[in-house]
Structures are given as C-alpha cells and as structure tokens.
Amino acid sequence: PAAATADWFGEYRDYHAITTHLRELAALAPDRVALEAVGNSLENRPVWALRIGGSAADATPMMIDGTLHAREWIAAMVTTCVADRLVRDYDRDPAIRAFVDHTRLWVVPVANPDGYQYAWSTDRYWRKNRRGRHGVDLNRNFAVAFGGAGSSRNERNETYRGAYAFSEPETSALRDLAKREAIALHVDFHSYGQIVLYPWAYTDKPAKDRDRLAALGDRMTSAMVAAHQTSYRLSSGVDFYPAAGTMTDWMYGEAGAMSYTIELRPKWPGGLGGFVLPREQIRPTCDEGLAAVLALRGAAERSEAPGR
C-alpha cells in the first residue's frame, strides 16, 4: 500500500531492511527490475545492485551509488528512494516511464555494507570500511591519482587510502560493475554540504570535458533547487576540497562516464551533527535526489555523447 511505502522513508533503515526493500522492488516488476549481488564486502555481505529498465537496445547505461562513507545514511535512503519511485511510479508518471524505458540504471544504495552496519551497531560516525582496526576510506581507494594529496597513508586517518588502488573488495565490485556495463552517466551520493561536484577532485587542471560536465551539473543543480527551494550549488571537486583516488574521478577518467559527486543535505559546515540529518528531511531530500538523476539523464540526451 502507498501509505506503507511512504512511511518506509519516514525513518532511516539499516543494511538488512534496505536489502529486503530492494528484493520487494525487484519482485514488483520482474520484467524491468532485477537485483544482483555485484560483489561481497570484507565481512562477506553482498554489495547489492538493483537494475531498473534497460530492455531497449539504445538504453543509456547509468549508475548511482551511496554510502561509500558509512555515516552518510541519507545517501542510502536517497538512492533506495530513487529506485522506489522509478519502480512504483512507472505507470503513473510519464517522465519516469520515459526514463526507465530508455535507461539501464544500476542502483547501489549501500556500497560499504560492513561500515554501514558498524555505524548502526557501534559507532554512528564511522566513515571507512572495516579493514583491520581502522578501515580504509573507500573514496580514496580508486585508481586515479591514487596516493595523491587529499588522501593519507596513515591508517588511523579518516582519509586512509588503503595499501594500493582497488585493494578493497567493495571498490573492486563497483569498478567491475562500471566496466562490465560501460556506464555512461554516474552519480555518487554523499553527505553533506548541498553541493554538486564534477571532476577533477585531485587537480585544479580543468577536465577535458569541463564545459559539458559543468553544463550537465548546472541542470542537476537547478532541478534539485526547484524540488523544495533548497540551496544547492555547483563546483569542481577540487574547489570543494582536494581528494585523490575518488570514485567520481575514476568513473570519469578511466570508465569514461559523465560522473558527479552530490553532497546532500544539510548545509556545510555543521560538524559531525551534519551526518545525522533529521528523519523528517529524508523524503524531501529524496525528491532532490530523484530530480538530479532525471535531470542528468535528460540533459545528457540533449547534448552530445562524451568522447570516450
């Protein structure tokens, strides 16, 4: 029932509840939705990816993910909510039907299952995965500028990058999915700061496709603002803060996707409390996330394909 569905997004959900919800979505529309484990975490939890749409030969391969950083719970809810809306509103919303009919979207709400569960059970502000005692920052473990400024070699540091690029099974699973599906459009959802970021994060040298990245990013930013008049802004990654080995830089630089990091609510700065977004804001933030995904797909269709 619709009321129960709406209520599901009235509070935060752990890894198991999200997994169950993804299974339910796959069962609702088996002709256009499928759930796949694309890898396993260090502690052997499946990294789940929900595929929506994609039957058309010309479907654009797209991917969204959340919770590379375990404490960013709103990212898990927003990605799950985007999937929920695309599945449930297919028959009643022409914009959603058009999106699903012409897109093959992969949704990975919990890219860091062990860290996410640890943030539920033990330490609400845990960021990294569960490698050893201190964990690896998965968003510094990708193979673009690995080891550069904005990442740390000290495993106690919050931005510890790991022993080598793709040392972690969670980042390897995302890499393998992106390569296998030849992903063309990508959003990595994080919190927080209300900002849309495009490559590069590791250098202030402009990306080859900078103008197009900025133009598509501008469409996403405008769509997010329009949903609830929340102030989102657009920036290059490095202008927000320098970071090396990020997923977005790798998705753009190595996988050839138009790739973005979206920092969801609340506004920056807000200390650790910013990671604990009040649950009344889950649904409106979901609206903003869906608006961004639809806008990126629509804007990309209206501009030329990237030179891969």
Q: Which two tokens stand for residue 296?
A: 């990126």
Closest-CA residue to 64 (of 111, 129, 120, 123): 111
Distance in angstroms between the alpha carbons of the first and the last residue of the chain: 44
Long-range contacts of 173-177 (CB under 8 A, 24+ apart): 173/38, 173/39, 173/40, 173/47, 174/38, 174/39, 174/47, 174/65, 174/108, 174/111, 174/247, 175/142, 175/143, 175/250, 175/255, 176/38, 176/39, 177/38, 177/39, 177/49, 177/63, 177/106, 177/108
Place of tokens 């890219």: 111
Q: Are 96 and 89 in contact (CB under 8 A)?
A: yes
Q: Are 268 and 231 in contact (CB under 8 A)?
A: no
Place of tokens 């609400």: 124
Phi and psi based region of residue 229 (left: phi greater than 0; alpha: psi -120 to 50; beta: remaining): left
Distance CA 66, CA 131 (A): 19
Active site residue 263: yes
* Angle in degrees, CA 167, 169, 170, rounded to 5: 110
Catalytic position from the list 72, 170, 181, 263: 263
Three-state SS string over 57-112 comes to CCCEEEEEEECCCCCCHHHHHHHHHHHHHHHHCCCCCHHHHHHHHCEEEEEECCCC
Residues annotated as catalytic are 263
